[in-house]
């Protein structure tokens, strides 16, 4: 029986016999023939390139996979970034004060000047800058606005243009006491004036029946 087997094997080519012998040796020793391996480069975005050892027969599929990854990443839509807004600089608001300067009238300027003298002492015949009588206060205040008025209340009752009581504005000249007293309208039914001896420059009530004439400097 064994002789018959050897005779059958002797008919195989020498190359096949060698392969069988090598296979038998490998099976008996537990050693397997080495399979050639190649390194494929894999690129991971944001991390870098890595060389991965792969068997030769898998080298081309790995390269193709790497190319597909790169193509997919390239084709991915990139969300547009909104442009950064330029910092907004807040400029000082010069509007209101400047407008007030250009729209100031002599009456406004004179009235503002007269308000600074509230509390100053009355002195008959005095026209400031520290003591005043009634017409002296009005004359001094308008002088600060560049307007030169006559000295007495009687003379001041003829300057400017007449104005009705219900149309009075701060700074208008108001003559009372039968023409012997004068002051400046302060708004809210009050008169800013140098009242009399012993009383300082102050605000006093003003009624329509007290008014002899009211004048506006235009």
Secondary structure percentages of the chain, helix, strand, coil, to 5: 40, 25, 40
Paired residues of 161 in beta bridges: 216
User: Which residues of the chain are in CATH 3.90.1720.10 domains?
Assistant: 106-216
Higher per-residue confidence, 22 vs 193? 193
pLDDT of res. 67: 76
Report whether 139 contacts 184 (CB < 8 A). no
pLDDT band at 71 (very low <50, low <70, confident <90, very high): confident
pTM over 0.75: no
pLDDT of res. 64: 72
Tally Cβ neighbours within 10 Å of residue 32: 8
Domain 106-216: give its CATH superfamily: endopeptidase domain like (from Nostoc punctiforme) (3.90.1720.10)
């Amino acid at each position: 029986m064994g002789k018959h087997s050897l005779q059958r094997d002797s008919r195989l080519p020498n190359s096949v016999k060698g392969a069988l012998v090598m296979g038998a040796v490998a099976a008996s020793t537990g050693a397997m023939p080495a399979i050639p391996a190649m390194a494929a480069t894999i690129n991971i975005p944001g991390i870098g390139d890595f060389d991965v050892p792969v068997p030769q027969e898998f080298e081309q599929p790995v390269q193709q996979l790497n190319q597909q990854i790169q193509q997919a990443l390239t084709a991915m839509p990139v969300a547009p970034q909104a442009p950064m807004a330029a910092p907004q600089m807040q400029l000082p608001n010069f509007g209101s004060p400047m407008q007030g300067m250009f729209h100031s009238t002599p009456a406004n300027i004179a009235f503002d000047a007269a308000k600074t003298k509230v509390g100053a002492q009355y002195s008959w015949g005095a026209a400031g800058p520290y003591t005043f009588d009634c017409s002296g206060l009005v004359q001094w205040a308008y002088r600060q606005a560049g307007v030169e008025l006559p000295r007495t209340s009687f003379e001041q009752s003829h300057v400017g243009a007449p104005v009705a009581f219900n149309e009075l504005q701060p700074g208008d000249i108001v003559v009372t006491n039968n023409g012997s007293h004068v002051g400046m309208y302060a708004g809210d039914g009050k008169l800013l004036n140098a009242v009399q001896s012993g009383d300082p420059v102050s605000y006093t009530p003003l009624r329509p029946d007290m008014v002899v004439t009211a004048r506006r400097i235009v």
